[in-house]
Chains A and B, each alone.
Chain A
């Protein structure tokens, strides 16, 4: 039972995430001037849904806030409130609070009460409520609105107990008459249901029997009878202990489509119509014997089951137990689950079916033993290989998620950062539907958050500076995603002042990151902002005070197998490009042999391959070598020697050179014995299974079952540059790290 509830709670939290995204999308559409009916409804529905679910779990903080939010959105929906810029800002702020409250309910940090109160009073101001009144009134009014009022749907036991305990002894039996109208039947209701309801009401008291008479006097002759016309009425006598309220409750749903009367009067034998009027008089006669035994009994009996009686006065009867039960589950680690388009699963299933067929084909070929079997087998395996690749793609499609969830979170980041820095900035999102592996989506949040904060803090100038430079006061940041040759490309483009290279260089020199006499290209200077210990913030603002530098961002992106490049034009803005693999699980690699070991080099870092030409190799005084390729010199690394796999650093005559590049464009030439193949390999963490090895990023298992290392190209380049270029060692390593 509680396990079920936990599961539903998880579903609720997932749904909250979705609703919050929906809310964000709706509000940004609103601020773009789309105040269409459907947009407003979607926004309203999102908050409404969160409130409804939260109420079911007794998450009171969330419910209370969502209620106020919903009320103000209701004003928007009914057209009482016009979505001006300021009002949308209030809604956006409320959305942030709401999203934090959801996180709180999920076991996250508790939300500052001041923030909630502030946002709430803003919302209330939107509704146009009087401040004094709302302070106390909503506190009480809000939850009461969704307290299940048992009267309306739990008519019988609850009300009965409650009322009877306090009501004066109702000595006389309760006489109920009712005549359903056609409309009642048209609503799918039935007189039977009412009779059962009355019987249930009676059953709640001892000896609770009802006497029912049906009045058929209006019934026409059979051939005149119209089936869906109401002809019947009923008269029901209930025990005296049944309260008027509980009988009334039976008619709650039909009060407008069913005439009914309640009266008190003893009427033990209502066989004829006369009895209705005779009841009043008859009461005198029958009262004494009826009163004698049953009347006092219920007074005692009713007090006995307090569980039933207690229900109405308790403020939140249904939510309370759920709340207790969930106190633990809220803190339970969130379950990882994703929603997948059914088509993708179907595609996968189709492919698996084909795989089974292919396997059967190979099996039968194995059993055959003629001359053509060998060749057919090879063909079968080739087609199976294609199939495996398709299945891999299909599985990746199942794991793929649009980057929307992360991108939309960035709206909030920019909103908060710009309000903190008092800048007016609009973030535009593009390509939110671009899909990437879900692990990647999650890991993108932190680096993107930091880069956007950085763009707001350092990229966009203050409004005065912008106006002085002839730009609009409002800054713009574009965050876009797209697929580019098997990788995902994310760009963050601001229209700010661009990187002030002089200042960056001056700071880098001051911090000892580069030597004072270093000569650096524009690109290298741009990349200095990724160097550890670099920060251009003249004053430590709230944003920069978070203790994360751009170097950490770069590390995170590299850790994802990605690259960062910067393009900056002074006065026009800066663009950061993140290029990331589509998945973290599989990598396109080049299989090479060095020092008798087969290793994998990520294809994305290989620029070109060529045969070695001894004439192009130059030795340097420190024993290292350079190779000149079409006039460009770059360090030559004998891979086997470098990794300690072979003792000689002299390249053999038939060795092959791989030119590899890191994300800042630094190149080195790796000398390998030979290139074997190009293959997709599954990445296995070596850190998790062994420990970190410099120059090796991960391991994989090859087709023949052997373990092979995946080389960490940026690290190799860094070490090579460090060896050669001692002059700007710090700079270079900072760049390459």
Chain B
């Protein structure tokens, strides 16, 4: 069990709209939210985070480093590779899912998401 500590979620998206919605939904559900604005920044935030996040939610299509790149990078970092990573995607085609899986994503959420679906996904990996 994670115990009483608040569950911390890192969300990475280049859209401030999306970051805003993620923050609202997750904070509303009692999570502690930290955010990154693309893959590169997401990695920086991850490495600077104390405590480290319990889960990561990332967009796929981002400048500088995309979601796949971020996942691959996180999976290469020993102290973070166990963190569940959920991919946010508007594309529901199997090809994208397969790529996310191959990169090491734990799961995915299809945009637009509802607060319930988001929380269910986080619960699924952090409960």
Interface residues of A (CB under 8 A from B): 1, 4-5, 7-8, 11-12, 14-15, 41-42, 44-45, 48-49, 51-53, 55-56, 145-146, 148-150, 152-156, 185-190, 193, 196-197, 252-253, 256-257, 317-319
Complex Cα distance A149/B121, Å? 13
8 examples of A-B residue contacts, CB within 8 angstroms: A8-B17, A45-B63, A146-B110, A146-B111, A187-B106, A188-B84, A253-B106, A319-B112
Q: Do A53 and B17 have beta carbons less than 8 Å apart?
A: yes
Contacts of B20 in A (CB 8 A): 7-8, 11-12
The interface residues of chain A lying within 8 Å CB-to-CB of B101 are: 187, 256-257
Beta-carbon contacts under 8 Å, B104-122 to A: 104-114, 116-117, 120-121
Bound: A145/B111 CA distance, A: 10
A317 and B114 contact, Cβ closer than 8 Å, known pairs A188-B83, A193-B124: yes
* Best-surrounded residue of A1, A41, A52, A145 (most CB of chain B within 10 A): A52
Q: A11-B16, A15-B17, A42-B63 are in contact. Are A148 and B113 (CB under 8 A)?
A: yes
Minimal beta-carbon separation of B45 from chain A (angstroms): 16
Verify if B21 is at the interface (C-beta below 8 Å from A): yes
CB–CB B90/A48 < 8 A = yes
B18 & A156 in contact (Cβ 8 Å cutoff): no
A41 to B14, CA, bound (A): 13
Q: Are A148 and B117 neighbours in the complex by a CB distance under 8 Å?
A: yes
Residues of A within 8 A of B15 (CB): 15, 49, 52-53
B104 A187 Cβ-Cβ under 8 A: yes
Question: Which residues of the partner chain B approach A41 to less than 8 Å between Cβ atoms?
Answer: 61, 63
**A189 pairs with B125, CB closer than 8 A:** yes
Closest to B116 in A: A154
Contact indicator B24/A146 (Cβ below 8 Å): no
- Evaluate contact between A187 and B105: CB separation under 8 angstroms: yes
- Measured CA separation A187–B104 after assembly (Å): 5
Say what secondary structure dominates the interface of chain A.
helix
A52 & B18 in contact (Cβ 8 Å cutoff): yes
Separation of A693 and B105 alpha carbons in the complex (Å)? 69
Chain B residues in 8 Å Cβ range of A252 = 107
- The answer to whether B106 touches A153 (Cβ under 8 A) is no
Which residue of chain A lies nearest to B27 when distances are taken between CB atoms in the complex? Answer: A4
List B contacts of A1 (CB < 8 A).
28
- When distances are taken between beta carbons in the complex, the residues of chain B under 8 Å from A319 are 112
> 8 new A-B pairs (CB below 8 Å) besides A48-B61, A187-B106?
A8-B20, A45-B14, A146-B112, A148-B110, A152-B108, A188-B83, A190-B125, A318-B117
Of all chain B residues, the one with the shortest Cβ separation from A195 is B127
The answer on a CB contact under 8 Å between A253 and B14 is no
Q: Which residues of A contact B104 (CB under 8 A)?
A: 186-188
Is A154 a contact of B117 with CB atoms below 8 Å?
yes
Contact mask B34-63 → A, CB, 8 Å, 1/0? 000000000000000000000000000111
* Complex interface residues of chain B between 70 and 117 (CB less than 8 A to chain A): 75, 81-85, 90-92, 101, 104-114, 116-117
**Chain A residue at smallest Cβ distance from B74:** A188
What A residues does B84 contact at CB under 8 A?
A: 187-189, 193
B27 to chain A, nearest CB (A): 10
Residues in chain A near residue B16, CB distance under 8 A: 11, 14-15
User: A56 to B17, Cβ gap below 8 A?
Assistant: yes
Which of chain A's residues have a CB closer than 8 A to the CB of B85? 187-188
Q: What is the bound-complex CA distance between A256 and B94, given in angstroms?
A: 12
From A44, A154, A155, residue with most partner B Cβ within 10 Å: A154
CA distance A48 to B17 in the complex (A): 13
Q: What is the distance, in angstroms, from B73's C-beta to the closest C-beta of chain A?
A: 13
In the A-B complex, the 7 residue pairs with the smallest Cβ-Cβ separation, listed nearest first, are A253-B107, A318-B114, A188-B84, A12-B17, A8-B20, A56-B112, A53-B17
Separation of A150 and B75 alpha carbons in the complex (Å) = 28
Distance between B82 CB and nearest chain A CB, rounded to angstroms: 5
CB-based contact B125/A53 at 8 Å: no
Q: How far is it, in angstroms, between the C-alpha of A7 and the C-alpha of B113 when the chains are bound?
A: 18
The interface residues of chain B lying within 8 Å CB-to-CB of A150 are 117
A-B contact count, CB below 8 Å? 128
Contact (Cβ within 8 A) A148 B124: no
What residues on A are CB-neighbors of B107 within 8 Å?
153, 189, 252-253
**B15, B61, B121, most chain A CB atoms within 10 A:** B15
Once A186-B75, A189-B106 are accepted as A-B contacts, the answer to whether A153 and B113 lie under 8 Å apart by CB is: yes
Residues B112 and A145 in contact, CB atoms below 8 Å apart: no
With a cutoff of 8 Å between Cβ atoms, the chain A residues found around residue B120 in the complex are 153-156
Quote the shortest CB–CB distance from B24 to chain A (angstroms).
5
CA distance A189 to B21 in the complex (A): 25
A8 to B123, CA, bound (A): 24
CB of A334, distance to nearest CB on chain B (Å): 15
Check B17 against A55 for contact (C-beta < 8 Å).
no
Given the known inter-chain contacts A196-B127, A256-B101, please indicate yes or no for A51 contacting B106, CB distance below 8 A: no
Q: Find out whether the CB atom of B92 lies under 8 angstroms from the CB atom of A149.
A: yes
Closest to A145 in B: B92
* Closest partner residue, chain B, to A1 (CB atom): B28
A316 smallest CB distance to B (angstroms) = 8
Q: How many whole Å from A554's CB to the nearest CB in chain B?
A: 39
Q: Complex Cα distance A44/B14, Å?
A: 13
| A11 cross-chain contacts in B, Cβ below 8 A | 16-17, 20
Query: Is A188 in contact with B112, judged by CB distance below 8 angstroms?
Result: no
A185 to B106, CA, bound (A): 9
User: Which residues of chain A are within 8 angstroms of B28 by Cβ–Cβ distance?
Assistant: 1
**CB-contact partner of A153 in B17, B75, B91, B110, under 8 A:** B110
Q: Which single member of A12, A152, A185 contacts B110 (CB below 8 Å)?
A: A152
Q: Which residues of A contact B63 (CB under 8 A)?
A: 41-42, 45
Decide if B111 touches A153 in the complex (CB within 8 Å): no
Q: A146-B111, A256-B101 are in contact. Are A56 and B90 (CB under 8 A)?
A: no
CB distance A52 to B111 under 8 Å? yes
| Closest chain A CB from B118 CB (angstroms) | 8
| Known A11-B16, A56-B112, A146-B111: A193·B75 in contact at CB below 8 Å | no
Residue of A nearest to B24 (CB): A4
Give bound CA distance, A649 to B20, whole Å.
67
Given A56-B17, A149-B92, A187-B105, decide whether A193 and B111 contact each other with a Cβ distance below 8 A: no
Are A318 and B112 in touch, CB under 8 angstroms? yes
Of A8, A48, A146, A185, the residue contacting B21 (CB under 8 A) is: A8
Chain A residue nearest in CB terms to B111: A52
Whether the Cβ atoms of B110 and A149 lie closer than 8 Å is: yes
Chain B residues near A48: list those with CB within 8 A.
61, 90
Contact of B125 among A52, A145, A188 (CB under 8 A): A188
A188 to B92, CA, bound (A): 22
Query: Which residues of A lie under 8 Å from residue B108 when comparing CB positions?
Result: 152-153, 253
Nearest CB in chain B to that of A256: its residue: B101
